[in-house]
Structure 1
Amino acid sequence: MGSYFHQYCPEGTVSKYRLIVFDDEKQAVLPLTDYYHYQITRIGEKSVIAYLNALEPFFYWLKHRSRYQNRLVLWNDEVAAIQVAIRDYLISKMRCKVRGRDGYEGIYLTSKSSRTVKLFLAAAKGFYKTMILLKQYSHSNPLVDIHFEDREGINPSDRPRMPQEAGTEEPLTHRKQTDSYFKVINDEWVPEIIGDWDLPYQVYNAGEDSNWCQRDEVISRFLFETGARISEILDLTIGDYRKRSDIHELAAMNKGSFKRRIKFVRISPETLKLLIKYVNKERRLYSSTQTKFNELPDDEPLFLSSRGTAYTYTAFYWNWSRIMKKAGIKLNPHKARHWFVTSMLRGIYETSDTAGQIEDKKKQLIEYMKWRDPETLAIYEHYYDEQKFRELHEKLQENYLKREKEYKNKSKNKQPLNEGVNVFADLKPGSEDHTGSWLSEFYEGMDS
Structure 2
Amino acid sequence: MASYFHVFCPEGVNSKYRLIVFDDTKEAFIPLTEYFHDQVNRISESSVLAYLNTLEPFFYWLKHKSHYQAKKVQWDDDPEAVKEAVRQYLIDQMHCKIRGREGHEGIYLTSKSSKTVQLFLAAIKGFYKTMIRLKEYSHVNPLLDMDFKDNINEKPGERSNRPRMPQAAGTEEPLSFRKQTDSYFKVINEEWVPEIIGDWDLPYRIYQAGDTKGWRLRDEVVTRFMFDTGARISEILELTVGDYRKRSDLHELAAINKGSYKRRIKFIRISPETLKLLIKYVNSERRHSANVQVKFNELPDSEPLFISTKGTPYSYSAFYSNWTKITKYAGIKLNPHKARHWFVTSMLRGIYEQSETAAQIEDKKKQLIEYMKWRDPETITIYEHYYDEQKFRDLHEKLQENYLKREKEYLKSAKTRSKVEKTPVTPSFELASSEDKQDWLNEFYEGME
Query: One fold, TM greater than 0.5?
Result: yes
1:92-117 Cα distance to aligned partner (Å, 9 max, x none): 543x3324445665434355543321
Q: Distance in 2 between matches of 1:135 and 1:352?
A: 58
CA contact under 8 A between 1:238 and 1:299: conserved in structure 2? yes
State the alpha-carbon separation in 1 of the partners of residues 22 and 132 from structure 2.
21
Shift, 1:265, TM fit: 1.7
Q: After the TM superposition, which residues 248-287 of structure 1 pair with which residues of structure 2 at under 5 Å, given as runs?
A: 248-287=251-290
Q: Deviations over 1:139-160 (max 9, x none)?
A: 6654356787613348xxxxxx
**2:382 pairs with one of 379, 382, 385:** 379
Tell me whether 1:151 sits opposite 2:152 in the alignment. Answer: yes
Contact 1:9 1:20 in 2 (8 A): no
Aligned to 2:309: 306
1:64 is matched with 64
Match of 1:327 among 292, 315, 330: 330
Q: Report the CA distance between 1:375 and its aligned residue.
A: 2.0
Equivalent-residue separation in structure 1 for 2:358 and 2:120 (angstroms):
43
2:101 is aligned with 1:98: no
- Give the Å deviation of 1:174: 7.2
Deviation at 1:312, TM superposition (A): 0.9
Tell which deviates more after alignment, 101-110 or 357-366.
101-110
Aligned to 1:125: 125
With over 3 angstroms needed to count, the CA separation of the structure-2 counterparts of 1:58 and 1:333, relative to structure 1, is same
Query: What does residue 441 of structure 1 align with?
Result: none
Gap change, CA 1:217 and 1:135, over 3 Å in 2: closer
Q: For 2:11 and 2:211, locate their aligned partners in 1 and report how far apart those are by CA, in whole Å.
A: 34
Which of 328, 339, 344 lines up with 1:341 in the alignment?
344
2:186 matched residue in structure 1: 183
Aligned with 2:264: secondary structure?
coil
2:342, 2:216 → 1: CA distance? Answer: 23
Question: Equivalents in 2 of 1:224, 1:360: separation in Å?
Answer: 23
Shift of 1:45: 4.9
Q: Is the 8 A contact 1:9 1:19 kept in 2?
A: no
| Partner residue, 1:162 | none
SS at match of 1:375: helix
Q: Which amino acid aligns with 1:85?
A: A
State the secondary structure of the residue aligned to 2:377. Answer: coil
Deviations 1:243-299 (A, max 9, x none): 222222222222222222222222122112211211122112211233122222222
What corresponds to 1:203 in structure 2?
206
Q: Provide the rounded CA distance (Å) in 1 between the counterparts of 2:66 and 2:390.
A: 45
- % identity of equivalent residues: 67
1:201 is aligned with what amino acid? Y
Q: Which amino acid counterpart does residue 63 of structure 1 have in structure 2? A: K
Per the alignment, do residues 374 and 415 of structure 1 end up closer, same or farther by CA in structure 2, a change over 3 Å counting? farther
Question: Normalised by the size of structure 1, how large is the TM-score?
Answer: 0.77
1:354-389 C-alpha deviation (Å, 9 max, x unpaired): 111111211221222222332222221122122222
- 1:145-197 Cα offsets, whole Å, 9 max, x none, are 6787613348xxxxxxxxxxxxxxx9624753555443323211111111111
State the 1:225 CA deviation. 0.7
| AA of the residue aligned to 2:151 | D
Alignment counterpart, residue 359 of structure 2, candidates 348, 356, 379: 356
Structure 1: give runs of 5+ residues left out of the alignment.
155-169, 419-445
Corresponding residue of 1:296: 299
Cα gap change, 1:236/1:177 in structure 2, threshold over 3 Å: closer, same or farther? closer
Alpha-carbon deviations, 1:385-410, whole Å to 9, x = none?
Answer: 22222222333344444555666677
* Bigger CA radius of gyration: 2
Amino acid at match of 2:206: V
Number of residue pairs matched by the alignment: 403
Secondary structure of the structure 2 residue equivalent to 1:262: strand
Q: Distance in 2 between matches of 1:256 and 1:11?
A: 35
- Amino acid in the other structure paired with 1:98: K
Supply the distance in 2 between the matched residues of 1:174 and 1:250 (Cα, whole angstroms). 30
Measure the CA separation in 2 of the matches of 1:185 and 1:117.
12
Gaps of 5+ in 2: 156-172, 425-446
Is residue 4 from structure 1 mapped to residue 5 from structure 2 by the alignment?
yes
Cα drift, residue 78 of structure 1: 5.2
Q: Which amino acid aligns with 1:3?
A: Y
8 Å contact 1:98–1:105 — kept in the other structure? no
CA RMSD of aligned residues (A): 3.6
